[in-house]
């Protein structure tokens, strides 16, 4: 089963199954929606608090910081809707030994552990992201060109790929850190660093979050396309980073599954 | 014949041994999951350590922000982080899991109080987290040494009282909140929402003196300030004596209110509780 059309069909089945499941817990769906919007409001309040006490953070104005925050929310909400819940189940699969069933299925195991569950209840963050972006734009009133918006969307897509890769790399560690059941909390915390401008970090940390664990590509670099204009070099580097990290992720996953010896045996 | 009534003496001894044993079990549990504890420490540490960097980048040549020099600002977040490890209570998750998975019924049959059990579990984890945090604290203090100023720190009785008070306030507001699991089937979203006011008002995000006056007035009266922010302010010598007394009084008030709420929710909740998972 290597044909892409078959994977697409399989994905549709997963998606339908998820919608049905979600419909069963409607109360939970609305509660989740409200909580996500609450968290966005809380962070927006923090940004407001910072700018009540200053006019610029490492050269970023309030509007620019909201632009960064909105872009981060957009990438993260897409990540959470599409992949986070599935990846979050990897430690449990390893611990319970049910990873055996995943590995013996006639599909790519990485596809299965990445895409099995969708979280429609993360839509609250997705909607809030556009509100934040709208607010940022109302503060900045930037004269945007179509090329800038196009580059921003492209970089957002690269950011999503990189965020997926970071998440997947960290969750794959579960094969060795079997007893650690809060890996996804750590992943969450690390990912949240991406909502701050990388310029606030000391030089060695800024380098690390740009190239080693490329969190800067998740939101700050896409935001740059709106803030500073389109640079061909940035687009190339972002594409290269996304491709490289997806490749490394897949290698690491294969290495991990090969050395996996099952919990039940 | 002993001076004290023998029975009384024996039962005191007996109870102390019982609680010591239960504490040991929790401590062993915390020790077994120390890797998990390290990750929880990091989830507190990383966001709290980004904030001083943001402020450092916000001075733009000014000497102070809201009365904080850059050195004070870094010290504030480091101290808050240390206090968080000793104070911050998350027992509602355990309570909800106990209730959902039916372990709660087993506790009801045993000859000790659930709230005391819950507290000992909390205490064991806090001790474990504090011990594990010491090396992290030293590393971070070293990394941030360039922008760190300790001069105002006052490690005296007022701070130790406020710290222990904060530890108890955090437990006594979280415990009755966790008992809501007796009333609602699904509590995950509710619990996640709880952390929003907790984070804003307990001082982890920013020193409360930087807040606009309206929010600061709210912070004065909600319990969250008295868990972490208040001991931190005392430690940094930011509060005049009358404010310290007022804060300690508020801590006592919230401990009493939280305990009363816990008792009330427990009594009414048990009547509704039907023993899921039996």
pLDDT tens sequence across B74-108: 999 999 999 999 999 999 999 998 888 878 888 88
> B214 CB near a chain A CB, below 8 Å?
no
Q: Do B35 and A196 make contact, defined as CB atoms within 8 angstroms?
A: no
**Could you give the residue ranges of the DSSP H alpha helices within chain B?**
6-32, 34-56, 70-87, 91-100, 103-109, 114-143, 157-179, 188-201, 213-221, 229-235, 241-272
Checking if the pLDDT of B23 tops 90, the result is no
Cβ count within 10 A of residue A20: 9
Chain A residues with CB under 8 Å of a chain B CB are 25, 27-28, 31-32, 34-35, 38-39, 42, 45-46, 49-50, 52-58, 177, 179-183, 185-186, 188-190, 192-193, 196-197, 199-202
| Per-residue model confidence (pLDDT) at position B10 | 59
Considering only CB atoms, B196 lies closest to which of A38, A52, A196, namely: A38
The nearest CA of chain A is from the CA of B64 a distance in Å of 10
Q: What is the pLDDT of residues B131-164, one digit of tens each?
A: 888 998 898 888 888 888 877 788 889 999 999 9
The DSSP 8-state label assigned to residue B228 in this structure reads: T
Q: What is the pLDDT of residues A11-28, one digit of tens each?
A: 888 888 888 887 777 777
CA angle B270, B271, B275 (to 5 degrees): 60
Supply B132's token pair. Answer: 């594990």
| Per-residue model confidence (pLDDT) at position B276 | 56
Q: Do B186 and A25 make contact, defined as CB atoms within 8 angstroms?
A: yes
Q: Do A192 and B46 make contact, defined as CB atoms within 8 angstroms?
A: yes
> B42 CB near a chain A CB, below 8 Å?
yes
Collapsed DSSP state (helix, strand, coil) of residue B14: helix
Q: Do A34 and B189 make contact, defined as CB atoms within 8 angstroms?
A: yes
Q: Do B205 and A49 make contact, defined as CB atoms within 8 angstroms?
A: yes
Q: Do A200 and B33 make contact, defined as CB atoms within 8 angstroms?
A: no
The residues, ordered by sequence, that sit 6+ positions from B237 with a Cβ below 8 Å of its Cβ are B152, B153, B154
CB A121 within 8 A of CB A33: yes
First to last CA, chain A: 28
| Per-residue model confidence (pLDDT) at position B3 | 43
Q: Do B205 and A189 make contact, defined as CB atoms within 8 angstroms?
A: no
| Per-residue model confidence (pLDDT) at position A92 | 87
> Mean of the pLDDT values across residues B256-266?
94
The residues, ordered by sequence, that sit 6+ positions from B130 with a Cβ below 8 Å of its Cβ are B82, B85, B86
Between the alpha carbon of residue B37 and those of residues A180, B65, B169, the distances in Å are: 9, 34, 22
| Per-residue model confidence (pLDDT) at position A63 | 93
| Per-residue model confidence (pLDDT) at position B46 | 87
User: In this predicted structure, which of A56-60, B84-88, B219-223, B272-276 has the lowest mean pLDDT?
Assistant: B272-276
Q: Which residues of B touch A55 (CB under 8 A)?
A: 60
Best residue in A51, A196, A204, A216 to probe B by mutation, most B CBs within 10 Å? A196
Q: Do A180 and B36 make contact, defined as CB atoms within 8 angstroms?
A: yes
Which residue from B minimizes the CA distance to A62?
B58
| Per-residue model confidence (pLDDT) at position B2 | 41
> Mean of the pLDDT values across residues B240-259?
95
The residues, ordered by sequence, that sit 6+ positions from A74 with a Cβ below 8 Å of its Cβ are A126, A129, A130, A133, A156
DSSP code per residue over A51-120:
HHH-S-BTTB-HHHHHHHHHHHHHHHHHHIIIIIHHHHTHHHHHHHTTHHHHHHSSS-HHHHHHHS---G
Q: Which has more confidence, B22 or A156?
A: A156
Q: Which residues pair with A57 in a beta bridge?
A: A60
| Per-residue model confidence (pLDDT) at position B20 | 85
What's the half-sphere exposure (Cβ side, CA atoms, 13 Å) at A241?
Answer: 28
| Per-residue model confidence (pLDDT) at position B5 | 40
> B53 CB near a chain A CB, below 8 Å?
yes
| Per-residue model confidence (pLDDT) at position B9 | 54
Supply A61's token pair. Answer: 């104005």
CA distance B217 to B203: 14
pLDDT below 50 — which residues of chain A?
A: 1, 265
> Mean of the pLDDT values across residues B203-228?
92
Mean pLDDT of chain B: 86
CB B205 within 8 A of CB B77: no
> B125 CB near a chain A CB, below 8 Å?
no
* Whole-complex ipTM: 0.84
| Per-residue model confidence (pLDDT) at position A202 | 85
Which residue from A minimizes the CA distance to B36?
A180
Band (pLDDT 50/70/90 cuts) for residue B176 is: very high
CA distance A207 to B70: 24
Supply B232's token pair. Answer: 């931190």
Q: Which residue has the tokens 């240390």?
A: B82
């Amino acid at each position: 089963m290597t044909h892409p059309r078959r994977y697409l069909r399989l994905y549709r089945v997963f998606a339908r199954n998820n919608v049905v499941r979600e419909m069963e817990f409607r109360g939970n769906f609305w509660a989740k929606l409200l909580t996500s919007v609450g968290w966005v409001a809380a962070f927006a309040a923090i940004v407001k608090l910072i700018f009540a006490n200053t006019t610029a953070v490492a050269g970023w104005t309030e509007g620019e910081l909201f632009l960064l925050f909105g872009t981060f929310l957009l990438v993260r909400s897409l990540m959470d809707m599409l992949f986070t819940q599935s990846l979050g189940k990897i430690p449990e699969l390893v611990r319970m030994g049910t990873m055996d069933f995943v590995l013996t299925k006639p599909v790519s195991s990485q596809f299965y552990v990445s895409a099995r569950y969708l979280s429609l209840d993360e839509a609250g963050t997705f909607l809030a992201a556009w509100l934040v972006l709208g607010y940022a734009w109302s503060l900045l009133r930037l004269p945007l060109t179509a090329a800038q918006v196009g580059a921003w969307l492209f970089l957002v897509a690269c950011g999503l790929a990189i965020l997926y890769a970071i998440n997947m790399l960290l969750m794959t560690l579960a094969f060795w850190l079997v007893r650690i059941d809060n890996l996804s909390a750590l992943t969450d915390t690390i990912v949240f660093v991406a909502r701050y401008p990388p310029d606030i970090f000391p030089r060695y940390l800024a380098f690390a979050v740009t190239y080693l664990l490329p969190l800067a590509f998740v939101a700050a670099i896409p935001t740059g396309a709106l803030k500073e204009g389109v640079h061909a070099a940035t687009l190339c580097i972002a594409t290269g980073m996304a491709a490289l990290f997806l490749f490394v992720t897949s290698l690491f996953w294969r290495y991990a599954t090969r050395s996996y010896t099952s919990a039940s045996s | 014949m002993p001076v004290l009534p023998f029975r009384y003496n024996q039962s005191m001894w007996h109870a102390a041994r019982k609680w010591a044993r239960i504490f040991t079990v929790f401590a062993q549990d915390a020790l077994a999951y120390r890797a998990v504890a390290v990750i929880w420490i990091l989830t507190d540490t990383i966001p709290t350590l980004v904030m001083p960097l943001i402020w450092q980048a916000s001075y733009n040549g000014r000497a102070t922000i809201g009365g904080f020099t850059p050195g004070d600002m870094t010290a504030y977040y480091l101290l808050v982080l240390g206090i968080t490890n000793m104070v911050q209570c998350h027992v509602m998750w355990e309570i909800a899991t106990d209730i959902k998975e039916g372990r709660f019924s087993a506790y009801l049959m045993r000859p000790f109080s659930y709230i005391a059990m819950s507290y000992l579990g909390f205490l064991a984890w806090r001790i474990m987290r504090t011990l594990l945090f010491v090396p992290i604290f030293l590393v971070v203090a070293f990394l941030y040494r360039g922008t760190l100023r300790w001069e105002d720190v006052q490690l005296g009785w007022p701070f130790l009282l406020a710290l222990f008070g904060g530890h108890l306030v955090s437990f006594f507001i979280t415990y009755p909140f966790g008992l809501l699991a007796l009333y609602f089937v699904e509590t995950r979203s509710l619990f996640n929402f709880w952390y929003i006011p907790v984070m804003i008002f307990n001082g982890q995000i920013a020193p409360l003196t930087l807040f606009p006056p309206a929010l600061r007035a709210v912070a004065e009266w909600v319990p969250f300030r008295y868990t972490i922010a208040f001991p931190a302010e005392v430690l940094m010598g930011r509060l005049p004596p009358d404010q310290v007394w007022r804060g300690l009084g508020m801590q006592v008030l919230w401990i009493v209110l939280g305990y009363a709420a816990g008792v009330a929710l427990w009594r009414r909740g048990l009547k509704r509780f039907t023993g899921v998972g039996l």
